[in-house]
Structure 1
Amino acid sequence: MAIQSTIEASAGKFTPATRRVADLIRENPAAVLEMTISELAAACDTSVASVVRFCRTLGLSGYSQLRMSLATELGKESAQFGAGMTLGAEIAQSDTLQEMAAKVASLEMLAIDETVSGLDFAALERVVAAIDKAERILLFGIGASQFVAQDLHHKLFRIGRNAFLLSDPHEAWTAALLSPAGTVALGFSHSGTTADTVRYLEIAREAGSLTVGLTGSPDSPLARAANECLVSRARESRLRAGAMVSRIAQLAIVDCLFLGVARQRYDQTVDALKRTRDVTHPR
């Protein structure tokens, strides 16, 4: 996983001191290339030891490896998307609309690329097989994550799968508790810490359902509550009322899931799509 995406996914592990290091790098990742470890620590109002702890939280040996990894990553991104990417994920107040649009587009393309290239395809195959055989499919997310759940529900429902989109936590918990054998319960949360969604998966798992978590944090409570975990990679801007880049990353997983399920019964899927298109777009 890219270092900048790893920082996003590791947000829940940071202490206040290491979070200040993460915030500075998110604001301007190129700063690491220009500062010594002592200068970075001073800029973050923390200690050299905290910077080292930050690096180890990311799975790196130390500051030198962080600098090398970021230099490589920023070089690739600059070659692919232009030098604007080296400014990091944040949208600056001074950015024009064109610059903001270019940054968001670049981050969304990066998110799709990193998500698909980092997918656990063995897990994806198992989830596809489970959904294909499922007697009931439950989908639940809160806030922006519900839009992602809604998209998968729409796709599955349109090809005749027994899918239910749950919008209320109590409704979700009840459905999870009373699920029949052969139920697959999918929970959507980019942070992986949304308490109601985690509880929904815990109840579903205790009831004997196969639980699937779609999250940006593989070490999160949601991931631990899931039998199978599909991880998205995204770098969000602070200027967001809801998920932007992370939503695109999760939608990429949703599309892969749907195509996998559709392939299982190809002729039946094509027929269902044609018939539903005909009834919703009459001549």
Structure 2
Amino acid sequence: MAWNGAPDAPPTVRIAALVPSLARGERKVAEAIAADGERAVDLTAQELADAVGVGRASVVRTAQTLGYEGYPQLRVALARERAFAAAVPEVAEGSLGVVQAAVDRFARALPHTAAALTEDVVEAFVAALDEAPRLVIAASGLSAPLGHDVAMRLTSAGRPAEFLSDSLAQHIAARHLGAEDVLFVISGSGANAASLHAADAARAAGARVLALTAFARAPLVSRATTALVVPPVTDSFQDELLQTSRAAFALVIEALVEALVVRRGPRGRGAREATLSVVSDSLGE
């Protein structure tokens, strides 16, 4: 399975989304490119293969898996991405420096957050959120807070949504969905066992499955009716496992709810006004 996301997505975004599922040789090539894109631009396919310790064919296959005709086209795309990359700002020492570095890293990745998305996939995703008679959210582990967040945001937008914090309860709710209903699964890795069980239960019930994940070849993607891939903001798959940031997911969820409100027109605006009225009444002096 080669890259099938947005055609203008830069190489680092494609690598972040695909690297966990690449074959060993291709993964070594992709990780070497991600670690030092400037060097990769200056190397031929054979030179990169020698540096990584694989055959030249692995370099060519990697480029093709990433969606390029060959390695020369990947080199051009790398050069273009680096030419428009923002400079890395200096940060302070100590804990403040750690915080600043993390924020700056996210800021640099932010322009690529939606780079893997395509218009038809996003439209289908938002339409399913809008039209489903019943909408259940499934999210476990570090994605669980996002389950609470999206359920509240959708409900506030006039689109009732259910989130049950217990993973078994999510599984049971998914199994009771109908053919027109939707299960919305949020999983950074796309391989969380509880989330996969819920997705399988929903499919067995004939329901549609929407997925939000970081990796294009994750097991969850193959189970989803429609999947949104938001590549991790970390520098490598190892960093993603250690840091497991969900900041980009939170941003995309907010944007999806806004798209839903716009799609609903007067209904969406009316729901937002009703929500603001309730919020206003709840505020004290």
How would you bin the TM-score normalised by the shorter chain? Answer: 0.7 to 0.9
- 1:158-211 per-residue CA deviation (whole Å, 9 max, x = no partner) reads 345431223333221111011246422101123323333223122212213221
Identify the match of residue 20 of structure 2 among 6, 12, 19.
12
Identify the match of residue 65 of structure 1 among 73, 87, 98.
73
| Aligned equivalents of 1:98, 1:149: Cα separation in 2 | 30
Is the contact between residue 3 and residue 70 of structure 1 (CA under 8 Å) also seen in structure 2?
Answer: yes
For residues 101 and 3 of structure 1, do their structure 2 counterparts lie closer, same or farther at Cα, with a shift above 3 Å needed?
farther
Identify the match of residue 122 of structure 2 among 111, 121, 124.
124
- Percent identity between the aligned chains? 26
Which secondary structure state, in structure 1, belongs to the residue aligned with residue 37 of structure 2? coil
Identify the match of residue 145 of structure 2 among 128, 131, 147.
147
| Aligned equivalents of 1:48, 1:128: Cα separation in 2 | 42
Contiguous gaps of at least 5 residues in structure 2: 1-8
| Aligned equivalents of 1:205, 1:54: Cα separation in 2 | 33
Is the contact between residue 171 and residue 201 of structure 2 (CA under 8 Å) also seen in structure 1?
Answer: yes
User: Which structure 1 residue ranges, 4+ long, deviate > 6 Å from structure 2?
Assistant: 95-99
Contiguous gaps of at least 5 residues in structure 1: 86-94
- 1:215-252 per-residue CA deviation (whole Å, 9 max, x = no partner) reads 233343222212222221334134464422xx233223
TM-score of the pair, normalised by structure 2: 0.80
Is the contact between residue 144 and residue 242 of structure 1 (CA under 8 Å) also seen in structure 2?
Answer: no
| Aligned equivalents of 1:146, 1:52: Cα separation in 2 | 39
Q: Which amino acid aligns with 2:248?
A: A
Alignment-derived partner of residue 254 in structure 2: 255
Is the contact between residue 111 and residue 233 of structure 1 (CA under 8 Å) also seen in structure 2?
Answer: no
Q: Note the aligned Cα RMSD (angstroms).
A: 2.8
TM-score of the pair, normalised by structure 1: 0.81
| Aligned equivalents of 1:209, 1:31: Cα separation in 2 | 48
Superposed, which structure 2 residues align to 1:11-50 within 5 Å? Answer: 11-50=19-58
Is the contact between residue 192 and residue 222 of structure 1 (CA under 8 Å) also seen in structure 2?
Answer: yes
Residue 268, structure 1, aligned to residue 270, structure 2: yes
Q: Which amino acid aligns with 1:273?
A: T
| Aligned equivalents of 2:72, 2:211: Cα separation in 1 | 34
Which secondary structure state, in structure 1, belongs to the residue aligned with residue 20 of structure 2? helix
Q: Which amino acid aligns with 1:71?
A: A
